């Protein structure tokens, strides 16, 4: 069974209905525009442990939800 998130509008839904997007910070030392785009697209911080995330319910009510999740276990810690 996949991870399920609790949408306040639609109820418990599979994570595949949502989009999660990290907004990365590109280091100033990367000056080439193409290199900055590559860094922004592929270099994610991927933190380990409890993390507060924002998910967009793209295949449902199209609202944002805030979730607290342990990235090591996918256990929901609150807000979902």
pLDDT tens track for 17-66: 999 876 677 888 888 989 888 887 787 777 899 988 889 999 999 999 99
Q: Does 8 score more than 60 pLDDT? A: yes
- The per-residue pLDDT for 1 is 55
The position carrying tokens 């995330």 is 53
At a CB cut-off of 8 Å and minimum separation 6, what does 27 contact? 39
Give the pLDDT band of residue 15 (cuts 50, 70, 90).
very high
Residues 73/61, Cβ–Cβ less than 8 Å: no
CATH architecture of 4-78: 2-Layer Sandwich (3.30)
Whether pTM > 0.85 for this model: the answer is no
Helix (H) or strand (E) run with residue 57 in it: none
- The per-residue pLDDT for 79 is 55
């Amino acid at each position: 069974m996949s991870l399920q998130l609790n949408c306040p509008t639609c109820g418990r839904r599979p994570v595949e209905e949502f989009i999660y997007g990290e907004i990365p910070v590109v280091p100033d030392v990367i000056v080439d525009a193409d290199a900055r785009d590559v860094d922004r697209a592929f270099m994610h911080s991927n933190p380990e442990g409890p993390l507060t995330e924002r998910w967009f319910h793209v295949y449902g009510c199209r609202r944002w939800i805030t979730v607290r999740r342990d990235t090591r276990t996918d256990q929901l810690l609150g807000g979902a």
